[in-house]
Amino acid sequence: MVLKKKRLRKYLLILVFFAILILSFNVSTAESYYADIQISVDNAGLVDIKGLSNHPDLLVENSDMYTSKKQSYWLVNITKNDTFEDYIYTLTLPKGALINHIKASGFRGIEEENGQLIVSGTGENEELSVVVQYQINQTSELYNFSDYAIIIFLLISILALTVLLIYFLNKNKKAPSYKKDSKSEYSFKGLSERQKEIVKLLINTKRPLTQTEIKNELEMPKAAVSRNVHSLEIKGIVEIEQSGMSNLVRLKK
């Protein structure tokens, strides 16, 4: 009886050992994802996700799989429960959208451009999740102004615009409206940390570099160098030139 228990215990230990080996193999061979994407949502809640990513179901066109609506509240939920080696995203909401709640990984800030709110973020070695609840501002449709009220409204608007114009003209005389980077004419806005490192390296070396040289200088994985250089090329910051068996990367003038 004791002998049987010892054998049973031995078999259980062997099974546990092989189970640990299989789990370790699955973890070590798990695919590493990346994303450099631009997300846009229209008034009907349809989503376009464009850019670069090796995730199998991230990029979509005119899809409603990431949005839902409850009464007047829209919800955008782009959550991938996979680890991304690095990611950078921008989310452009419809015109007139007002954000009520936001929970986004790598959240960097909210900007307004042409009447649209733009949420951006970047991160490394974590899950990608962008959850935004918003409403469309429709107050302009709720009021029926009389002709007299419309005239007063237009006069007030013209007066306000005139005051703002005078203010900005005086402000521009005192200080320039745009300040360049004190070290470089290149803007790092909208770039991930790795993309910033590549641009700074090219600025400091003052000459074109091969992707191998960039890899060695920054101690960055070869695939990450290739991917981020390609993103910088799409954004018009660098250009790539074939030179023999190598690709030369230079800052675009």
Q: What is the pLDDT of residues 109-160, one digit of tens each?
A: 999 999 899 999 999 999 999 999 999 986 544 444 456 678 888 889 998 8
Q: Residue 154: what pLDDT?
A: 86
Q: What is the pLDDT of residues 66-122, one digit of tens each?
A: 999 999 999 999 999 999 999 999 999 999 999 999 999 999 999 999 989 999 999
Higher pLDDT, 18 or 3: 18
Is the pLDDT score of 38 beyond 80?
yes
Query: What is the residue-wise DSSP string for the chain?
Result: -HHHHHHHHHHHHHHHHHHHHHHHHHHHTPPPEEEEEEEEE-TT--EEEEEEE--TTT-EEEE-TTEEEETTEEEEEEEEEEEEEEEEEEEEPPTTEEEEEEEETTEEEEEEETTEEEEEEEEEEEEEEEEEEEEE--GGGS----HHHHHHHHHHHHHHHHHHHHHHHHHHHHS-S----SS-SS--TT--HHHHHHHHHHHHHTS-EEHHHHHHHHT--HHHHHHHHHHHHHTTSEEEEEETTEEEEEE--
Is the pLDDT score of 16 beyond 60?
yes
Higher pLDDT, 246 or 126: 126
Q: How far apart are CA 97 and CA 136, in angstroms?
A: 4
Q: Residue 5: what pLDDT?
A: 60
Instruction: Read off the pLDDT band of 165 (50, 70, 90).
Output: confident
Q: Domains in the chain and their CATH numbers?
A: 33-136 (2.60.40), 193-251 (1.10.10.10)
Is the pLDDT score of 168 beyond 90?
no
Whether 53 and 103 have beta carbons less than 8 Å apart is answered as no
* Torsion sign across C-alpha atoms 213, 218, 224, 228: negative
Q: Residue 242: what pLDDT?
A: 83
Which of 114, 55, 46, 50 lies closest to 74 in space, CA to CA? 46
Mean pLDDT in residue range 37-45: 95
